[in-house]
Amino acid sequence: MINVVQLLCDLSEASEETFSVCALGHECDGGLRVLTKLGAVGAGPRLESITCQACDADHSATIEFDAERRCYFHFCPEAGRVPVDDADLATLRFNPEWLVDWLISTLAISCPAHRPARVPGRVWYLGDAACGDALVTVVLARQVSSQAALDQLASVLGALPLADKRLVITTSPWVARQVHLPHGFEFLDLREIGRWVGERLIVDRTRLDSLVQELPGKSTPAKPELKAPRKSRRNPARLDFREVDKPLIAEMHTMILGGTARNATDAARALASRAAGSSKEASKVTRLAAGYIKVHPGG
């Protein structure tokens, strides 16, 4: 079977979201069946014209319907009336909103941002995701290979609430390798982390976490639990932030549900000054937001 992730990205980058099934070739049939079952592609409108295959002129021909014979045909100046199979007129339509929903679900985005897209059909702010010990602001961008599209993307990034690390997941392969983004964002090609495993389309979390660790920005690495020596067992126990932060995390949830905070990061910033510990406020924001995502993975 063709690489499902590669086909998904290629369809996302196609200039037209509606495409002829026959134009892709039979080698894509298996991948198209998978993506259709997932909902990434669906039936599109019937073609109204095709390129004539009955002569060498490669002219465009308008499709007509023969009501008596119950079949489609077109007229060629050289070959005359040319019958057309129904399958040759079938199209599929790529659904970019499915890609948005799939990433929000598979990345367990906390308090996913409300649509519409920040740039229609091209750029979506998804929200924040916990990747290893880091909190990451995630944006999806497609068809951003032109300078105009990149300028639109850059203008959007500066207006977003930002976690310590920032990713723009893209299906545009060239920009992922060549373009540097403002505001601390980094491109990540979806092909790097998407996998078709056991009849499921997934994100390779091990690969994603590894790539996130290489990003600029802060992380809050988990410290190993140290066992106190026997002679110091009477010393006060170490502060367990998971327990101490529970009331604040509950308050964050109330704020988000009530609309006074847009997401976990927004709520954490509002309450960080009340968080226990002697670390800097930015570290408390990261700790609270990551803690919230663990308790409320679906937002």
126 occurs within a structural domain: yes
Give dist(CA 84, CA 89) in Å, integer.
Answer: 8
Same domain for 87 and 102, yes or no, is no
108 occurs within a structural domain: yes
Same domain for 101 and 20, yes or no, is no
**Tens-of-pLDDT digits for all 299 residues of the chain?**
568 999 999 999 986 777 777 767 667 788 888 999 999 998 888 888 888 988 988 898 999 999 988 999 999 998 999 999 888 888 888 999 999 999 999 999 987 776 679 999 999 999 999 998 899 999 999 999 888 999 999 999 989 989 989 999 999 988 877 788 999 999 999 999 999 998 899 999 999 999 999 887 755 443 334 343 444 444 444 556 777 788 888 888 778 777 788 888 888 888 888 888 777 787 788 888 888 888 877 66
128 occurs within a structural domain: yes
The whole-number pLDDT of residue 116 equals 78
Same domain for 111 and 58, yes or no, is no
Pairing of strands 18-20, 91-94: antiparallel
Give dist(CA 270, CA 261) in Å, integer.
Answer: 8
Give dist(CA 150, CA 154) in Å, integer.
Answer: 6
Same domain for 264 and 201, yes or no, is no
DSSP string across 122-136: TEEEEEEEEETTEEE
Q: Which two tokens stand for residue 106?
A: 């598979």
Same domain for 127 and 188, yes or no, is yes
The whole-number pLDDT of residue 115 equals 65
Contact partners, residue 277, CB within 8 Å, separation at least 6: 239, 241, 284, 287
Question: Are the C-beta atoms of residues 149 and 120 closer than 8 Å to each other?
Answer: no
Q: Which two tokens stand for residue 31?
A: 């991948």
Decide which of 92, 124, 145 is a domain's last residue. 92
159 occurs within a structural domain: yes
260 occurs within a structural domain: yes
3-state secondary structure 179-232: CCCCCCEEEEEHHHHEEEECCEEEECHHHHHHHHHCCCCCCCCCCCCCCCCHHH
The whole-number pLDDT of residue 2 equals 66
The whole-number pLDDT of residue 175 equals 81
Same domain for 80 and 8, yes or no, is yes
Decide which of 92, 112, 133 is a domain's last residue. 92
Give dist(CA 10, CA 28) in Å, integer.
Answer: 11
Total tally of structural domains belonging to the chain: 3
Same domain for 12 and 77, yes or no, is yes
Give dist(CA 280, CA 284) in Å, integer.
Answer: 7
- Going by the DSSP 8-state scheme, the letter that residue 110 receives in this structure is B
21 occurs within a structural domain: yes
Give dist(CA 205, CA 12) in Å, integer.
Answer: 22
Give dist(CA 251, CA 267) in Å, integer.
Answer: 9
Give dist(CA 22, CA 70) in Å, integer.
Answer: 21
Q: What are phi and psi of 9, to 5 degrees?
A: -65, -40
Same domain for 133 and 198, yes or no, is yes
250 occurs within a structural domain: yes
Same domain for 21 and 75, yes or no, is yes
39 occurs within a structural domain: yes
Same domain for 200 and 102, yes or no, is yes
Helix count and strand count (H, E) for the chain: 12, 14
Question: Are the C-beta atoms of residues 65 and 75 closer than 8 Å to each other?
Answer: no
Question: Are the C-beta atoms of residues 93 and 42 closer than 8 Å to each other?
Answer: yes
Give dist(CA 82, CA 74) in Å, integer.
Answer: 5
For residue 25, the enclosing domain spans 4-92
Same domain for 154 and 196, yes or no, is yes
Same domain for 261 and 279, yes or no, is yes
Decide which of 213, 248, 278 is a domain's last residue. 213
